Structure 1
Amino acid sequence: MLKQRVITAVLLLAVLLPALFAPVAWPFAVLTLAMIGAAGWEWARLNGLQGTPAYSAGGLLAAACAGALWAGWAATAPTFVWWAATLVWVLGGAWAMKVGPAGWPSLSRPLRLALGLLALWTAWLALANAKSTGINFILSIFCLVWAADIFAYFGGKTFGKRKLAPAISPGKSWEGVWTGMAGVIVLAFVWMAIDRTNAIDSASLYTRLHEQHGVAGLVLIAIFLSAMSVVGDLVESLAKRAAGAKDSSNLLPGHGGVLDRIDALLPTFPLALALSSL
Protein backbone atom coordinates (compact mmCIF):
# COMPACT_ATOMS: atom_id res chain seq x y z
CA MET A 1 0.00 0.00 0.00
CA LEU A 2 2.78 2.46 0.90
CA LYS A 3 4.60 1.73 -2.36
CA GLN A 4 1.40 2.32 -4.31
CA ARG A 5 0.76 5.60 -2.48
CA VAL A 6 4.27 6.84 -3.20
CA ILE A 7 4.10 5.92 -6.89
CA THR A 8 0.75 7.67 -7.29
CA ALA A 9 2.01 10.76 -5.45
CA VAL A 10 5.14 10.96 -7.62
CA LEU A 11 3.11 10.65 -10.81
CA LEU A 12 0.67 13.33 -9.67
CA LEU A 13 3.49 15.71 -8.81
CA ALA A 14 5.15 15.01 -12.17
CA VAL A 15 1.96 16.23 -13.87
CA LEU A 16 0.87 18.99 -11.50
CA LEU A 17 4.14 20.81 -10.82
CA PRO A 18 4.97 21.70 -14.46
CA ALA A 19 1.42 23.01 -14.90
CA LEU A 20 1.56 24.96 -11.65
CA PHE A 21 4.90 26.62 -12.47
CA ALA A 22 4.15 27.19 -16.15
CA PRO A 23 4.55 30.86 -17.12
CA VAL A 24 0.98 30.93 -18.45
CA ALA A 25 -2.18 30.06 -16.53
CA TRP A 26 -4.06 27.81 -18.93
CA PRO A 27 -2.16 24.48 -18.42
CA PHE A 28 -2.97 24.51 -14.70
CA ALA A 29 -6.56 25.59 -15.39
CA VAL A 30 -7.11 22.78 -17.91
CA LEU A 31 -5.46 20.10 -15.76
CA THR A 32 -7.43 21.04 -12.66
CA LEU A 33 -10.57 21.24 -14.78
CA ALA A 34 -10.16 17.56 -15.65
CA MET A 35 -9.60 16.69 -12.00
CA ILE A 36 -12.65 18.66 -10.87
CA GLY A 37 -14.73 16.89 -13.51
CA ALA A 38 -13.62 13.57 -12.04
CA ALA A 39 -14.51 14.85 -8.56
CA GLY A 40 -17.96 15.75 -9.88
CA TRP A 41 -18.42 12.16 -11.04
CA GLU A 42 -17.36 10.95 -7.59
CA TRP A 43 -19.80 13.32 -5.88
CA ALA A 44 -22.65 12.08 -8.06
CA ARG A 45 -21.84 8.46 -7.16
CA LEU A 46 -21.72 9.28 -3.44
CA ASN A 47 -25.20 10.73 -3.79
CA GLY A 48 -26.84 7.79 -5.48
CA LEU A 49 -26.15 8.20 -9.21
CA GLN A 50 -24.47 5.44 -11.18
CA GLY A 51 -23.37 4.84 -14.75
CA THR A 52 -24.35 7.41 -17.37
CA PRO A 53 -26.04 9.88 -14.97
CA ALA A 54 -22.90 10.04 -12.82
CA TYR A 55 -20.65 10.52 -15.85
CA SER A 56 -23.05 13.20 -17.10
CA ALA A 57 -22.77 15.08 -13.81
CA GLY A 58 -18.98 15.08 -14.10
CA GLY A 59 -19.19 16.16 -17.73
CA LEU A 60 -21.62 18.96 -16.90
CA LEU A 61 -19.27 20.25 -14.21
CA ALA A 62 -16.28 20.13 -16.56
CA ALA A 63 -18.33 21.98 -19.19
CA ALA A 64 -19.25 24.68 -16.64
CA CYS A 65 -15.57 25.11 -15.81
CA ALA A 66 -14.70 25.28 -19.51
CA GLY A 67 -17.39 27.92 -19.99
CA ALA A 68 -15.87 30.03 -17.21
CA LEU A 69 -12.43 29.58 -18.78
CA TRP A 70 -13.77 30.70 -22.18
CA ALA A 71 -15.46 33.73 -20.58
CA GLY A 72 -12.20 34.85 -18.95
CA TRP A 73 -13.36 34.16 -15.40
CA ALA A 74 -10.40 31.85 -14.77
CA ALA A 75 -8.25 34.98 -14.50
CA THR A 76 -10.64 37.48 -12.90
CA ALA A 77 -13.94 36.10 -11.67
CA PRO A 78 -16.59 38.39 -10.17
CA THR A 79 -16.07 38.86 -6.45
CA PHE A 80 -19.68 37.94 -5.67
CA VAL A 81 -18.85 34.32 -6.56
CA TRP A 82 -16.47 34.07 -3.60
CA TRP A 83 -18.95 35.63 -1.20
CA ALA A 84 -21.76 33.36 -2.39
CA ALA A 85 -19.48 30.38 -1.80
CA THR A 86 -18.61 31.72 1.65
CA LEU A 87 -22.28 31.97 2.60
CA VAL A 88 -23.06 28.46 1.34
CA TRP A 89 -20.07 26.89 3.07
CA VAL A 90 -20.61 28.59 6.43
CA LEU A 91 -24.36 27.96 6.62
CA GLY A 92 -24.34 24.63 4.80
CA GLY A 93 -21.34 23.37 6.73
CA ALA A 94 -22.99 24.25 10.05
CA TRP A 95 -26.15 22.42 8.99
CA ALA A 96 -24.23 19.34 7.82
CA MET A 97 -22.29 19.14 11.09
CA LYS A 98 -25.56 19.39 13.03
CA VAL A 99 -27.50 16.67 11.19
CA GLY A 100 -24.59 14.24 10.63
CA PRO A 101 -24.60 11.24 8.28
CA ALA A 102 -28.07 10.14 9.39
CA GLY A 103 -29.63 13.47 8.47
CA TRP A 104 -27.70 14.05 5.26
CA PRO A 105 -30.17 12.07 3.07
CA SER A 106 -33.02 14.26 4.37
CA LEU A 107 -31.78 16.87 1.92
CA SER A 108 -33.20 16.06 -1.51
CA ARG A 109 -30.80 14.35 -3.91
CA PRO A 110 -31.06 17.06 -6.59
CA LEU A 111 -30.17 19.72 -4.02
CA ARG A 112 -27.25 17.67 -2.67
CA LEU A 113 -25.97 17.16 -6.18
CA ALA A 114 -26.36 20.82 -7.09
CA LEU A 115 -24.64 22.09 -3.94
CA GLY A 116 -21.72 19.69 -4.38
CA LEU A 117 -21.20 20.53 -8.05
CA LEU A 118 -21.46 24.24 -7.27
CA ALA A 119 -18.86 23.89 -4.51
CA LEU A 120 -16.52 22.07 -6.90
CA TRP A 121 -17.04 24.69 -9.62
CA THR A 122 -16.27 27.62 -7.32
CA ALA A 123 -13.24 25.78 -5.94
CA TRP A 124 -11.87 25.24 -9.47
CA LEU A 125 -12.54 28.89 -10.31
CA ALA A 126 -10.72 29.98 -7.15
CA LEU A 127 -7.76 27.73 -7.96
CA ALA A 128 -7.52 29.21 -11.46
CA ASN A 129 -7.79 32.78 -10.16
CA ALA A 130 -5.17 32.13 -7.49
CA LYS A 131 -2.79 30.75 -10.11
CA SER A 132 -3.35 33.84 -12.27
CA THR A 133 -2.56 36.03 -9.25
CA GLY A 134 0.84 34.40 -8.75
CA ILE A 135 2.74 31.33 -7.63
CA ASN A 136 3.50 32.74 -4.18
CA PHE A 137 -0.17 33.54 -3.62
CA ILE A 138 -1.55 30.14 -4.63
CA LEU A 139 1.17 28.25 -2.76
CA SER A 140 0.42 30.18 0.42
CA ILE A 141 -3.19 28.94 0.31
CA PHE A 142 -2.20 25.36 -0.49
CA CYS A 143 0.26 25.39 2.41
CA LEU A 144 -2.37 26.80 4.77
CA VAL A 145 -4.51 23.71 4.16
CA TRP A 146 -1.56 21.33 4.38
CA ALA A 147 -0.24 22.96 7.56
CA ALA A 148 -3.67 22.82 9.22
CA ASP A 149 -3.91 19.12 8.36
CA ILE A 150 -0.36 18.16 9.37
CA PHE A 151 -0.34 20.07 12.64
CA ALA A 152 -3.82 18.77 13.47
CA TYR A 153 -2.69 15.20 12.85
CA PHE A 154 0.31 15.40 15.18
CA GLY A 155 -1.53 17.56 17.71
CA GLY A 156 -4.41 15.10 17.79
CA LYS A 157 -2.04 12.15 18.20
CA THR A 158 -0.24 13.87 21.06
CA PHE A 159 -2.96 15.76 22.91
CA GLY A 160 -6.25 14.53 21.48
CA LYS A 161 -8.89 13.66 24.07
CA ARG A 162 -12.17 15.31 23.09
CA LYS A 163 -13.69 14.05 19.83
CA LEU A 164 -14.66 16.71 17.31
CA ALA A 165 -17.34 14.86 15.34
CA PRO A 166 -17.32 11.16 16.31
CA ALA A 167 -20.29 10.28 14.10
CA ILE A 168 -18.52 11.69 11.04
CA SER A 169 -14.77 11.32 11.60
CA PRO A 170 -13.87 9.53 14.85
CA GLY A 171 -10.17 10.28 14.49
CA LYS A 172 -10.49 14.06 14.71
CA SER A 173 -10.23 15.86 18.04
CA TRP A 174 -10.71 19.43 19.23
CA GLU A 175 -7.10 19.47 20.38
CA GLY A 176 -6.01 18.55 16.87
CA VAL A 177 -8.07 21.38 15.39
CA TRP A 178 -6.55 23.91 17.79
CA THR A 179 -3.05 22.65 17.06
CA GLY A 180 -3.75 22.99 13.35
CA MET A 181 -4.86 26.59 13.85
CA ALA A 182 -1.72 27.37 15.83
CA GLY A 183 0.41 25.85 13.08
CA VAL A 184 -1.27 28.01 10.44
CA ILE A 185 -0.66 31.18 12.48
CA VAL A 186 3.03 30.30 12.77
CA LEU A 187 3.15 29.58 9.04
CA ALA A 188 1.57 32.96 8.28
CA PHE A 189 4.21 34.95 10.16
CA VAL A 190 7.08 32.89 8.76
CA TRP A 191 5.73 33.33 5.23
CA MET A 192 5.39 37.10 5.67
CA ALA A 193 9.02 37.28 6.80
CA ILE A 194 10.05 35.39 3.66
CA ASP A 195 7.94 37.76 1.54
CA ARG A 196 9.83 40.76 2.96
CA THR A 197 13.29 39.35 2.31
CA ASN A 198 12.90 37.65 -1.07
CA ALA A 199 11.99 38.61 -4.61
CA ILE A 200 8.57 37.09 -5.27
CA ASP A 201 6.11 37.19 -8.14
CA SER A 202 3.15 38.14 -5.92
CA ALA A 203 2.23 38.85 -2.33
CA SER A 204 1.17 35.81 -0.34
CA LEU A 205 -2.31 35.50 1.13
CA TYR A 206 -0.82 36.30 4.55
CA THR A 207 0.91 39.50 3.42
CA ARG A 208 -2.28 40.67 1.73
CA LEU A 209 -4.38 39.99 4.80
CA HIS A 210 -1.84 41.71 7.06
CA GLU A 211 -1.78 44.79 4.83
CA GLN A 212 -5.57 44.95 4.71
CA HIS A 213 -6.56 43.96 8.25
CA GLY A 214 -3.49 44.19 10.48
CA VAL A 215 -2.14 41.52 12.79
CA ALA A 216 -5.41 40.86 14.60
CA GLY A 217 -7.33 40.52 11.35
CA LEU A 218 -4.69 38.19 9.91
CA VAL A 219 -4.80 35.91 12.96
CA LEU A 220 -8.62 35.77 13.02
CA ILE A 221 -8.86 35.03 9.31
CA ALA A 222 -6.13 32.38 9.51
CA ILE A 223 -8.08 30.68 12.31
CA PHE A 224 -11.30 30.91 10.30
CA LEU A 225 -9.74 29.45 7.15
CA SER A 226 -8.17 26.64 9.19
CA ALA A 227 -11.59 25.84 10.64
CA MET A 228 -13.23 25.85 7.21
CA SER A 229 -10.60 23.46 5.84
CA VAL A 230 -11.74 21.05 8.56
CA VAL A 231 -15.37 21.63 7.56
CA GLY A 232 -14.53 20.71 3.95
CA ASP A 233 -12.94 17.47 5.15
CA LEU A 234 -15.89 16.66 7.40
CA VAL A 235 -18.55 17.35 4.77
CA GLU A 236 -16.92 14.88 2.38
CA SER A 237 -16.53 12.33 5.18
CA LEU A 238 -20.21 12.82 6.04
CA ALA A 239 -21.27 12.15 2.44
CA LYS A 240 -19.10 9.02 2.33
CA ARG A 241 -20.51 7.69 5.61
CA ALA A 242 -24.06 8.34 4.46
CA ALA A 243 -23.28 6.39 1.27
CA GLY A 244 -21.43 3.61 3.12
CA ALA A 245 -18.23 4.29 1.17
CA LYS A 246 -14.66 4.26 2.47
CA ASP A 247 -13.24 6.36 -0.37
CA SER A 248 -14.82 8.64 -2.95
CA SER A 249 -13.46 6.33 -5.70
CA ASN A 250 -10.34 4.35 -6.67
CA LEU A 251 -9.08 6.82 -9.27
CA LEU A 252 -5.87 7.46 -7.31
CA PRO A 253 -4.43 4.09 -6.25
CA GLY A 254 -3.42 4.15 -2.61
CA HIS A 255 -5.09 7.53 -2.05
CA GLY A 256 -8.74 6.88 -2.85
CA GLY A 257 -10.41 9.42 -5.11
CA VAL A 258 -9.91 13.02 -6.18
CA LEU A 259 -12.41 14.24 -3.58
CA ASP A 260 -10.40 12.51 -0.87
CA ARG A 261 -7.39 14.63 -1.83
CA ILE A 262 -9.08 18.02 -2.32
CA ASP A 263 -11.92 18.05 0.23
CA ALA A 264 -10.21 20.56 2.56
CA LEU A 265 -9.33 22.80 -0.39
CA LEU A 266 -12.93 23.19 -1.54
CA PRO A 267 -14.05 25.84 0.97
CA THR A 268 -10.60 27.28 1.68
CA PHE A 269 -9.74 28.63 -1.75
CA PRO A 270 -12.93 30.59 -2.48
CA LEU A 271 -13.10 31.85 1.12
CA ALA A 272 -9.45 32.97 0.95
CA LEU A 273 -10.18 34.92 -2.22
CA ALA A 274 -13.30 36.46 -0.68
CA LEU A 275 -11.45 37.64 2.44
CA SER A 276 -8.41 38.89 0.53
CA SER A 277 -10.70 40.91 -1.77
CA LEU A 278 -12.05 43.11 1.05
Structure 2
Amino acid sequence: MSLRRAAWRGVALLFVVFLLSPPVLVILFAFSDRPLANFPVTGLGLRWFRDMVRHPAFADALENSLVIGCTVGLVAAVVGTMAGIGFSRWPPRRARTWITVLCLPLMLPPLFLGVSLLVFYVFLGAPLGLGTVILSHLLFTLPFVIIVVYARMSSFDYRIVESARDLGASPMKAFLTVTLPVVQPVVIGAALIAVALSIDDFILTSFTIGGGNTLPILVWSQLRTNVSPMINAIGTMLLLTSIGSTLIALQLTRYRG
Protein backbone atom coordinates (compact mmCIF):
# COMPACT_ATOMS: atom_id res chain seq x y z
CA MET A 1 0.00 0.00 0.00
CA SER A 2 2.83 2.39 0.89
CA LEU A 3 4.58 1.59 -2.39
CA ARG A 4 1.44 2.40 -4.36
CA ARG A 5 1.00 5.64 -2.44
CA ALA A 6 4.61 6.62 -3.12
CA ALA A 7 4.13 5.86 -6.82
CA TRP A 8 1.06 8.08 -7.00
CA ARG A 9 2.89 10.85 -5.18
CA GLY A 10 5.73 10.54 -7.67
CA VAL A 11 3.30 10.81 -10.59
CA ALA A 12 1.64 13.82 -8.98
CA LEU A 13 5.03 15.46 -8.43
CA LEU A 14 6.03 14.88 -12.06
CA PHE A 15 2.73 16.40 -13.19
CA VAL A 16 3.29 19.49 -11.04
CA VAL A 17 6.83 19.85 -12.39
CA PHE A 18 5.48 19.51 -15.94
CA LEU A 19 2.93 22.28 -15.29
CA LEU A 20 5.33 24.69 -13.61
CA SER A 21 8.43 24.17 -15.77
CA PRO A 22 7.35 26.30 -18.80
CA PRO A 23 6.50 29.50 -16.86
CA VAL A 24 9.53 29.09 -14.59
CA LEU A 25 11.84 28.74 -17.60
CA VAL A 26 10.28 31.77 -19.29
CA ILE A 27 10.88 33.89 -16.19
CA LEU A 28 14.41 32.53 -15.75
CA PHE A 29 15.47 33.19 -19.35
CA ALA A 30 13.84 36.65 -19.25
CA PHE A 31 16.51 37.71 -16.74
CA SER A 32 19.40 35.93 -18.47
CA ASP A 33 21.90 37.99 -20.46
CA ARG A 34 22.52 35.15 -22.88
CA PRO A 35 20.85 35.50 -26.31
CA LEU A 36 20.00 31.79 -26.40
CA ALA A 37 17.55 30.08 -24.09
CA ASN A 38 19.85 27.37 -22.76
CA PHE A 39 21.78 26.40 -19.68
CA PRO A 40 23.77 27.34 -17.75
CA VAL A 41 22.08 30.67 -17.06
CA THR A 42 24.70 33.35 -16.44
CA GLY A 43 24.76 37.09 -16.05
CA LEU A 44 21.28 37.75 -14.70
CA GLY A 45 20.03 41.21 -15.58
CA LEU A 46 17.33 43.31 -17.23
CA ARG A 47 18.79 43.36 -20.75
CA TRP A 48 15.74 41.87 -22.46
CA PHE A 49 13.34 44.08 -20.52
CA ARG A 50 15.26 47.11 -21.79
CA ASP A 51 15.07 45.74 -25.33
CA MET A 52 11.35 45.17 -24.82
CA VAL A 53 10.76 48.80 -23.82
CA ARG A 54 12.90 50.07 -26.73
CA HIS A 55 11.14 47.93 -29.34
CA PRO A 56 9.34 50.26 -31.82
CA ALA A 57 6.07 48.28 -31.63
CA PHE A 58 6.01 47.79 -27.86
CA ALA A 59 4.48 51.14 -26.87
CA ASP A 60 1.54 50.79 -29.26
CA ALA A 61 1.00 47.15 -28.30
CA LEU A 62 1.05 47.99 -24.59
CA GLU A 63 -1.31 50.94 -25.07
CA ASN A 64 -3.78 48.86 -27.09
CA SER A 65 -3.67 46.02 -24.56
CA LEU A 66 -4.31 48.40 -21.66
CA VAL A 67 -7.12 50.23 -23.47
CA ILE A 68 -8.81 46.97 -24.43
CA GLY A 69 -8.30 45.32 -21.03
CA CYS A 70 -9.40 48.28 -18.91
CA THR A 71 -12.42 49.00 -21.10
CA VAL A 72 -13.48 45.36 -21.05
CA GLY A 73 -13.04 45.21 -17.27
CA LEU A 74 -15.06 48.39 -16.71
CA VAL A 75 -17.91 47.45 -19.06
CA ALA A 76 -18.01 43.88 -17.77
CA ALA A 77 -18.15 45.15 -14.18
CA VAL A 78 -21.04 47.56 -14.83
CA VAL A 79 -23.12 45.38 -17.15
CA GLY A 80 -22.30 42.16 -15.29
CA THR A 81 -23.29 43.69 -11.96
CA MET A 82 -26.61 44.90 -13.33
CA ALA A 83 -27.31 41.52 -14.93
CA GLY A 84 -26.19 39.53 -11.88
CA ILE A 85 -28.36 41.55 -9.50
CA GLY A 86 -31.28 41.33 -11.90
CA PHE A 87 -30.94 37.56 -12.23
CA SER A 88 -30.74 37.18 -8.44
CA ARG A 89 -34.28 38.58 -8.18
CA TRP A 90 -35.65 36.08 -10.69
CA PRO A 91 -36.84 32.56 -9.88
CA PRO A 92 -33.70 30.38 -9.60
CA ARG A 93 -34.57 28.05 -12.46
CA ARG A 94 -35.26 30.89 -14.87
CA ALA A 95 -32.13 32.79 -13.83
CA ARG A 96 -29.85 29.77 -14.22
CA THR A 97 -31.29 29.04 -17.65
CA TRP A 98 -30.44 32.52 -18.90
CA ILE A 99 -27.00 32.45 -17.28
CA THR A 100 -26.32 29.16 -19.06
CA VAL A 101 -27.29 30.78 -22.36
CA LEU A 102 -24.92 33.68 -21.70
CA CYS A 103 -22.13 31.20 -20.95
CA LEU A 104 -22.43 29.52 -24.36
CA PRO A 105 -19.47 31.48 -25.84
CA LEU A 106 -17.27 29.88 -23.16
CA MET A 107 -18.21 26.44 -24.46
CA LEU A 108 -17.29 27.17 -28.08
CA PRO A 109 -13.77 26.56 -29.43
CA PRO A 110 -11.94 29.92 -29.51
CA LEU A 111 -10.91 29.39 -33.13
CA PHE A 112 -14.51 28.80 -34.20
CA LEU A 113 -15.66 31.81 -32.18
CA GLY A 114 -12.97 34.02 -33.72
CA VAL A 115 -13.88 33.03 -37.28
CA SER A 116 -17.59 33.50 -36.52
CA LEU A 117 -17.03 36.98 -35.11
CA LEU A 118 -14.87 37.97 -38.08
CA VAL A 119 -17.56 36.83 -40.53
CA PHE A 120 -20.21 38.64 -38.46
CA TYR A 121 -18.31 41.95 -38.40
CA VAL A 122 -17.55 41.74 -42.13
CA PHE A 123 -21.22 41.00 -42.82
CA LEU A 124 -22.24 44.10 -40.84
CA GLY A 125 -19.57 46.19 -42.55
CA ALA A 126 -18.06 47.12 -39.18
CA PRO A 127 -14.44 48.31 -39.38
CA LEU A 128 -12.10 46.03 -37.46
CA GLY A 129 -10.25 47.69 -34.62
CA LEU A 130 -10.18 48.11 -30.86
CA GLY A 131 -13.97 48.41 -30.72
CA THR A 132 -14.56 45.02 -32.32
CA VAL A 133 -11.95 43.46 -30.04
CA ILE A 134 -13.66 44.91 -26.96
CA LEU A 135 -17.06 43.60 -28.06
CA SER A 136 -15.53 40.19 -28.73
CA HIS A 137 -13.81 40.01 -25.35
CA LEU A 138 -17.03 40.87 -23.55
CA LEU A 139 -18.48 37.60 -24.82
CA PHE A 140 -16.17 35.57 -22.58
CA THR A 141 -15.60 38.03 -19.71
CA LEU A 142 -19.17 39.10 -18.95
CA PRO A 143 -20.25 35.59 -17.84
CA PHE A 144 -17.57 35.56 -15.13
CA VAL A 145 -18.85 38.80 -13.61
CA ILE A 146 -22.48 37.73 -13.91
CA ILE A 147 -21.81 34.36 -12.25
CA VAL A 148 -19.94 35.74 -9.23
CA VAL A 149 -22.41 38.59 -8.69
CA TYR A 150 -25.36 36.22 -9.01
CA ALA A 151 -23.76 33.77 -6.57
CA ARG A 152 -23.18 36.56 -4.05
CA MET A 153 -26.61 38.19 -4.39
CA SER A 154 -28.77 35.06 -4.72
CA SER A 155 -28.78 34.72 -0.92
CA PHE A 156 -29.12 38.45 -0.27
CA ASP A 157 -32.20 39.55 1.66
CA TYR A 158 -33.75 42.26 -0.52
CA ARG A 159 -36.10 43.22 2.30
CA ILE A 160 -33.21 45.33 3.58
CA VAL A 161 -33.37 47.39 0.39
CA GLU A 162 -37.14 47.67 0.72
CA SER A 163 -36.72 48.87 4.30
CA ALA A 164 -34.31 51.56 3.13
CA ARG A 165 -36.85 52.64 0.52
CA ASP A 166 -39.58 52.78 3.17
CA LEU A 167 -37.36 55.06 5.24
CA GLY A 168 -37.20 57.54 2.37
CA ALA A 169 -34.10 56.49 0.44
CA SER A 170 -34.23 56.87 -3.33
CA PRO A 171 -33.57 53.80 -5.50
CA MET A 172 -30.06 55.07 -6.26
CA LYS A 173 -29.28 55.86 -2.62
CA ALA A 174 -30.58 52.46 -1.53
CA PHE A 175 -28.33 50.81 -4.09
CA LEU A 176 -25.26 52.85 -3.11
CA THR A 177 -25.70 52.42 0.64
CA VAL A 178 -27.13 48.89 0.89
CA THR A 179 -26.51 46.79 -2.22
CA LEU A 180 -23.18 48.16 -3.48
CA PRO A 181 -21.18 47.55 -0.26
CA VAL A 182 -22.29 43.91 -0.35
CA VAL A 183 -21.43 43.29 -3.99
CA GLN A 184 -18.46 45.65 -4.44
CA PRO A 185 -15.62 43.24 -3.48
CA VAL A 186 -16.76 40.47 -5.83
CA VAL A 187 -17.35 42.97 -8.64
CA ILE A 188 -13.82 44.35 -8.35
CA GLY A 189 -12.39 40.83 -8.21
CA ALA A 190 -14.35 39.66 -11.23
CA ALA A 191 -13.40 42.82 -13.14
CA LEU A 192 -9.71 42.15 -12.47
CA ILE A 193 -10.10 38.63 -13.83
CA ALA A 194 -11.83 40.09 -16.90
CA VAL A 195 -8.93 42.50 -17.42
CA ALA A 196 -6.38 39.69 -17.15
CA LEU A 197 -8.30 37.45 -19.55
CA SER A 198 -8.67 40.28 -22.05
CA ILE A 199 -5.00 41.30 -21.98
CA ASP A 200 -3.86 37.68 -22.38
CA ASP A 201 -6.22 36.80 -25.23
CA PHE A 202 -4.63 36.08 -28.59
CA ILE A 203 -7.04 34.10 -30.78
CA LEU A 204 -10.10 36.37 -30.74
CA THR A 205 -7.90 39.46 -30.83
CA SER A 206 -5.97 38.29 -33.89
CA PHE A 207 -9.22 37.73 -35.79
CA THR A 208 -10.98 40.96 -34.84
CA ILE A 209 -8.33 43.67 -34.44
CA GLY A 210 -7.61 44.25 -38.12
CA GLY A 211 -4.18 45.81 -38.49
CA GLY A 212 -3.60 46.71 -34.86
CA ASN A 213 -1.23 45.20 -32.35
CA THR A 214 -1.41 43.93 -28.77
CA LEU A 215 1.18 42.32 -26.54
CA PRO A 216 0.19 38.70 -27.37
CA ILE A 217 0.15 39.54 -31.09
CA LEU A 218 3.57 41.21 -30.74
CA VAL A 219 4.93 38.02 -29.15
CA TRP A 220 3.48 35.95 -31.98
CA SER A 221 4.96 38.22 -34.64
CA GLN A 222 8.38 38.01 -32.98
CA LEU A 223 8.16 34.22 -32.90
CA ARG A 224 7.39 34.14 -36.62
CA THR A 225 10.06 36.59 -37.77
CA ASN A 226 12.87 36.79 -35.25
CA VAL A 227 12.98 34.62 -32.15
CA SER A 228 14.36 36.99 -29.53
CA PRO A 229 14.68 36.55 -25.75
CA MET A 230 12.63 39.74 -25.58
CA ILE A 231 9.52 37.55 -25.88
CA ASN A 232 10.46 35.98 -22.54
CA ALA A 233 10.37 39.45 -20.99
CA ILE A 234 6.94 40.17 -22.48
CA GLY A 235 5.69 36.76 -21.39
CA THR A 236 6.99 37.34 -17.87
CA MET A 237 5.22 40.69 -17.69
CA LEU A 238 1.94 39.15 -18.87
CA LEU A 239 2.32 36.21 -16.49
CA LEU A 240 2.99 38.37 -13.44
CA THR A 241 0.09 40.65 -14.36
CA SER A 242 -2.28 37.69 -14.62
CA ILE A 243 -1.06 36.12 -11.38
CA GLY A 244 -1.32 39.41 -9.50
CA SER A 245 -4.81 40.12 -10.80
CA THR A 246 -5.97 36.60 -10.00
CA LEU A 247 -4.60 36.64 -6.45
CA ILE A 248 -6.25 39.98 -5.73
CA ALA A 249 -9.49 38.74 -7.29
CA LEU A 250 -9.45 35.55 -5.19
CA GLN A 251 -8.94 37.60 -2.05
CA LEU A 252 -11.76 39.99 -2.92
CA THR A 253 -14.26 37.36 -4.04
CA ARG A 254 -13.74 35.14 -1.00
CA TYR A 255 -16.99 34.90 0.89
CA ARG A 256 -16.85 36.71 4.24
CA GLY A 257 -20.33 35.90 5.53
Q: Normalising TM by the smaller chain, what interval?
A: 0.3 to 0.5
User: Which protein shows a greater Rg?
Assistant: 2
**TM-score normalised by L of structure 2:** 0.36
**TM-score normalised by L of structure 1:** 0.34
Pick 1 or 2: higher relative contact order, CA cutoff 8 A, min separation 6.
Answer: 2
